[in-house]
Amino acid sequence: MLYIYNMSKTKKDDKVFKALAAPVRREVLDALRDNPQTTGELCALFAHLDRCTVMQHLRVLEDADLVLVRRVGRVRWNYLNAIPIKRIHDRWIGAYAAEAVTLLDKMKTDMEQETVKSG
């Protein structure tokens, strides 16, 4: 059972890493960071790409659960979903960042003790 759970988690992470691998998809996520945008607005923002290409990138982001879509009539609103990125951060970076803070604190304390001894 645990193996199956880890497999599904790994597949989800793989999709997120794949989605984040393309610079244009990271730019799309940046564009959605402050507020949701329609697909038309995103196509206008990425005018150097044709609409089909923008839609393909959005599909990859949606499949990775990085973009949530809400349709209002004929308009498709795209929202950033940062939770998969946070999960990756927590799994791959969080523990290392905590250790780095601990090391920096130790270094600061050591330097302060050296200053007291030499002063």
pLDDT at 58 over 90: yes
Kindly state the average pLDDT of the residues 29-55: 97
Q: Are residues 90 and 117 in the same domain?
A: yes
Q: Are residues 87 and 72 in the same domain?
A: no
Q: Are residues 87 and 77 in the same domain?
A: no
Residue 27 belongs to domain spanning: 1-81
Q: Are residues 57 and 28 in the same domain?
A: yes
How far is residue 113's CA from residue 119's CA, in Å, rounded to a whole number?
A: 10
- The total domain count for the chain is 2
Question: In what order do the strands lie in the sheet containing 37-38?
Answer: 37-38, 75-80, 67-72
Q: Are residues 26 and 59 in the same domain?
A: yes
Q: Are residues 75 and 53 in the same domain?
A: yes
Q: Are residues 61 and 102 in the same domain?
A: no
Q: Are residues 42 and 66 in the same domain?
A: yes
Percent of the chain at pLDDT exceeding 70: 92
Q: Are residues 46 and 102 in the same domain?
A: no
The residue that leads in pLDDT, 21 or 114, is: 21
Cβ within 8 Å of residue 71, ≥6 positions away: 77
> Tens digits of per-residue pLDDT, 75-115?
999 999 999 999 988 887 777 787 888 888 889 998 988 88
Q: Are residues 87 and 73 in the same domain?
A: no
